[in-house]
Structure 1
Amino acid sequence: MGKKHATDSTGTPATVALTAAGVSFTPHAYAHDPANTNFGLEAAEVLGVPPERVFKTLMTDVDGVLTAAVVPVNGSLDLKALAHACGHKKAAMADPALAQRRTGYVLGGISPVGQRQHSPTVVDESALLFDTIYVSGGRRGFDVELSPGDLLALTKGTTANIGVAKI
């Protein structure tokens, strides 16, 4: 993977944070179809990547704490498993306006990296099956490829079985 710098035309808070931390990543820009609201599956299809390697960032409310849950795009989030992984009893999807305000990103472009305010981050353990995974680079139509270990280190994240595969 080629290391990119914040001066690239794809500069977002995510790429700035990755560059500042010295993390190697590969940017992947693509033409986003505004009619498509399934952002993660669109990214997998357009980039030609198996959907289990592309992860979506879902902002959740875990007993009052805004928490980033990072799960494969071909599945869904198990809120009960997320709450348990965080040592709490209850989790729900965060209010979209709050998620956008706190992260500094728009829905469909929320990256786990470079958020305006740090949120606890839980990454589905399936990410560890791959040398690299794809996450939003901070806007619709832009993903970054990086190692799961680098993502966990940069977000101070943990892993847990929080994803549910769709059949």
Structure 2
Amino acid sequence: MADPTPDVATSPPLLAHPAVARVRRALTEAGVSAEIVVLDDAARTAAQAAAALGTSVAAIANSLVFVATLPDGTETPLLVLTSGGHRVDPEHLAAATGYASIDKADAAFVRRSTGFAIGGVAPVAHTGHVTTLVDAALAEHEVVWAAAGHPHTVFPTTHDELVRVTRGRSVTVR
């Protein structure tokens, strides 16, 4: 049986992109055999990804990075993998998780914390420690699509697999 992960040497050039290769290695190390899919057009939003994949926006794991402030004032990156059909309520999340506050991160913070640019933030392979929360609503979908390190790449997964590979926590985001 052939390896379900494409060979980088014979795959589209984007699969050899350093961020995509980092995601692929992290997925393999976590026991995930999903193939990374290269989209014809960039999918920087859940709506763009859903249109490209022919699926519901709700089945897209939208990667949103926040600056979470601990009660002692320490700031830390927080990745929320939310259903593309949902808006994150930062006040609700802060109350549910014990953070003093949760605020949207700017592009520089996202790249510094995760090693990815906005639009391609993957759930794994971050360059630093990132706490992850996974929207419980993603469990309603048999297949969920997540970013794979570049705005043109995604991979199929499930809610439970996202919780496992990120060592995250399933929560209600709104």
Deviations 1:123-166 (A, max 9, x none): 11001112221110110011111122121111110011104xxx
Distance in 1 (CA, whole Å) between partners of 2:170 and 2:87 is 16
2:48 matches 1:42: yes
Q: Tell me the CA shift for residue 6 of structure 1.
A: 7.2
Could you tell me how far apart the structure 2 residues matched to 1:6 and 1:75 are? Answer: 35
Kept after mapping to 2: 8 A contact 1:55/1:134: yes
Mark the CA change 1:150 to 1:6 in structure 2 (over 3 Å): closer, same or farther: farther
Cα shift at 1:61: 1.0
Aligned ranges for residues 79-94 of structure 1 at < 5 Å?
79-94=90-105
Alpha-carbon offset, residue 75 of structure 1 = 2.6
CA distance in 2, matches of 1:146, 1:95: 27
Structure 1: segments with no counterpart, 5+ residues: none
The answer for the alignment partner of 1:133 in structure 2 is 144
Larger radius of gyration, structure 1 or 2?
2
Query: Contact 1:6/1:15 (CA < 8 Å) preserved in 2?
Result: no
Maintained 8 Å contact 1:56/1:135: yes
Question: What SS does structure 1 have at the residue aligned with 2:162?
Answer: helix
Q: TM-score, normalised by structure 1?
A: 0.86
4+ long deviations beyond 6 Å: none
Q: Which amino acid aligns with 1:54?
A: I
2 CA distance for matches of 1:81 and 1:4? 39
Q: Which residue identity lines up with residue 62 of structure 2 in the other structure?
A: K
Matched, 1:78 2:85: no
Percent identity over the alignment? 23
Q: Would you say how many aligned residue pairs link Structure 1 and Structure 2?
A: 159
Post-superposition CA distance 1:31-74 (Å, at most 9, x none): 225xx7x5221110011011100111111011112110111223
How far apart are residue 113 of structure 1 and its match?
1.1
Which has the larger strand fraction?
1
Q: Tell me, yes or no, if structure 1 residue 18 matches structure 2 residue 27.
A: yes
